[in-house]
Amino acid sequence: MNRSASFRRVRRMAFAVLVLVFCAGCVSIDQTLTLNADGSADVELRYELSNALREKFTRVFDLADDLAAASGKDPMSPAARRAAFPYITDEKELKKMFTAYKEWGVRVSTLEVNRIGNMDKVTLEYTVPDLRVLAKTAFFAQQSFSVNRTRDGDYEFKLSLGSRSADALPDLSDPNVQDILRPMLEGFRVVSTIKTPGKIIYTSSPRATARMAVWSYDFSQDLNALANLQRRVQRLTIAGRGLNMRGLSYEAP
């Protein structure tokens, strides 16, 4: 492989890790999105991040800056780094971020940061007036989602990794790629839960009840967890009786 091809491969891998940082860059992420009958939504987010892992991702950003410099491009600004990695553990920074969201109607009910040993545990609970506002917030800006009403009056909801982000990733089912990412994503676990205001008629989730669907990606139990996350499409069809959810189609940048 020539130098140019090697450089492109490394740059692509670095970008892949940056994208994965947003989706899975913590030891553990539990995300619950509750869709309400009036079109608003509640978010419960719990994530854990160790000091060692935070240092690893700092090195990833530094590598990306080195690659950018080598290709004559500007490094990532602090704001760009935060946009790519919103899972911060500084309580003051989190409060500052959500204070800026107030003008969009975002209401925070819980914001807690607890340090246990070398782990920071963050708990966030907040409400958005509609899904258009949700798309503006850091934790969902890199995810694509849509709401469409069917001819029968039901609602179809879809949530996925932004298509551009997914297209930029290498084939995560490739064992060679997994070997490269394995040391950085040891302990990787993401649980994504969606709760609905009406009965679930259909879902792509392997674990579901009448009004809740759960998707789990655990690298320690399944080496294909990254590949599954890469191509994930979380689909729900919700009985529409009594609901007033606005149609929406948001494609992550």
Residue 183 banded pLDDT, cuts 50, 70, 90:
low
pLDDT in tens, 17-59: 544 544 444 468 899 999 999 889 999 999 988 776 667 667 7
Host domain of residue 173: 28-48+90-250
Task: Round the average pLDDT of the chain to a whole number and report it.
Answer: 79
The residue among 132 and 179 whose pLDDT is bigger is 132
Query: Which token pair is 106?
Result: 């975002």
Q: Is residue 158 part of a domain?
A: yes
In a domain, 223, yes or no: yes
Q: What percent of the chain has pLDDT over 90?
A: 36
Is 103 within a domain? Answer: yes
**pLDDT higher for 106 or 137?**
106
Q: Is residue 60 part of a domain?
A: no
Do 131 and 147 meet the contact criterion of CB atoms below 8 Å apart?
yes
pTM: 0.76
- 80 belongs to a structural domain: no
Distance of alpha carbon 150 from alpha carbon 158, whole angstroms: 13
Domains: count for the chain: 1
pLDDT one-digit tens code per residue, 69-127: 787 877 766 666 666 677 888 899 899 999 999 999 999 999 999 988 888 899 999 99
E strands, 51-106, in order: none
Is the residue at 62 inside a domain?
A: no
In a domain, 116, yes or no: yes
To which residue do tokens 């107030």 refer?
A: 102
Residue 192 has pLDDT above 50, yes or no: yes
In a domain, residue 152? The reply is: yes
Gap between the Cα atoms of 123 and 203, Å rounded: 27
